[in-house]
Amino acid sequence: MITLALPKGRIFDEALPLLGRAGIVPAEPPESTRRLIIGTSIPDLRIVVVRASDVPTYVQYGAADLGIAGADILMEHGGGGLYQPLDLGIGICRLCVAAPAGFDYAEAVRRGARLRIATKYVQAARDFFAGKGVHVDLIKLYGSMELAPLAGLADAIVDLVSSGATLRANDLLEVEQIAPISSRLVVNQAAFKMRHERMAAVVDALARAVPA
Ligand code: PRP
């Protein structure tokens, strides 16, 4: 049996058509079932549905043989024990620094101010600001980062931006881009070695399903 870990939420909806093009069709509609292990049209391949941030963990420990994870999630996880053979071209967005329109971010950086940054992406934020030589206090949040500057919790945030609608609705401006983000196929290294032929066939099918 091959187990594929899929993240709940937005990437999931984009992943289903991609899987379909690779001939992998869930045996029951994943959006309506509460079941977390779902069979597929391929008898030896099943899907497990997990939180996006848990996908690398399932694959790293071999509880799933492969999975779909955003580059943002992989930056935080570190990617140990994982092959990343494919950019799947889905879940496209960017990791950014955003601040209220009234906060002069560039000036604060220029004069070497110590910035308070709220984010779910602590590792990526730490690496980014360290690379720029900017001193930051990082405040870990688990969601609704956009609220933090409005509520006085932070000067700025590090978050994903897709359409930009969430920033606009909260009077925040994108002041710096950290990294472009898309979803990657991640594969357990040991599984890929030990069951190479079967695993490579699945990876190849997915590679052919990625839009050019
Ligand atoms: C992400 C991100 C922003 C929003 C950006 O949250 O954290 O809040 O999407 O999208 P936009 O630029 O198109 O408005 P998501 O909906 O993935 O939920 P999350 O807060 O659980 O990460």
- The answer on pLDDT for 140 being more than 90 is yes
Which pLDDT belongs to residue 212? 79
Beta bridge partners of 82: 188
- The answer on pLDDT for 46 being more than 90 is yes
Cα→Cα distances 87→14, 163, 211, Å: 14, 21, 10
Task: Report the half-sphere exposure of 56 (CA within 13 A, side-chain side).
Answer: 19
Which pLDDT belongs to residue 179? 98
* Residues framing ligand 1 (Cβ under 6 A): 10, 143, 159-166
CA distance 117 to 129: 10
Angle at 7 between CA 39 and CA 146, to 5 degrees: 160
Which pLDDT belongs to residue 48? 96
Q: Say how many Å lie between the first and final Cα of the chain, rounded.
A: 30
Which pLDDT belongs to residue 174? 98
pLDDT bracket for residue 30 (50, 70, 90): confident
Beta 115-119 vs 136-140: how paired, if at all? Answer: parallel
Q: Ligand 1, from 12, 161, 178: best to mutate by most atoms within 8 Å of Cβ?
A: 161
pLDDT bracket for residue 51 (50, 70, 90): very high
Amino acid (1-letter code) at residue 193: K
Of 42, 50, 65, 40, nearest to 11 (Cα)? 50
CA distance 186 to 130: 27
Residue entry with tokens 């900017």: 134
pLDDT in tens, 11-28: 999 999 999 999 999 999
pLDDT bracket for residue 44 (50, 70, 90): very high
pTM: 0.93
Q: Which of 26-35, 46-55, 187-196 comes out lowest in average pLDDT?
A: 26-35
Tokens representing 191 are 């599984």
Which pLDDT belongs to residue 9? 86
Span from the CA of 143 to the centroid of ligand 1 (angstroms): 9
pLDDT bracket for residue 132 (50, 70, 90): very high
pLDDT bracket for residue 32 (50, 70, 90): confident
Q: Ligand 1, from 55, 166, 167: best to mutate by most atoms within 8 Å of Cβ?
A: 166
pLDDT bracket for residue 167 (50, 70, 90): very high
CA distance 14 to 91: 7
CA distance 125 to 157: 9
Which uninterrupted H or E stretch holds 99?
Answer: strand 93-100
CA distance 118 to 111: 20
> What average pLDDT score do residues 62-69 get?
98
Chain centroid to CA 7: how far?
9
Of 160, 146, 119, 157, nearest to 10 (Cα)? 160
Span from the CA of 43 to the centroid of ligand 1 (angstroms): 35
pLDDT in tens, 79-90: 998 999 999 999
CA distance 143 to 159: 9
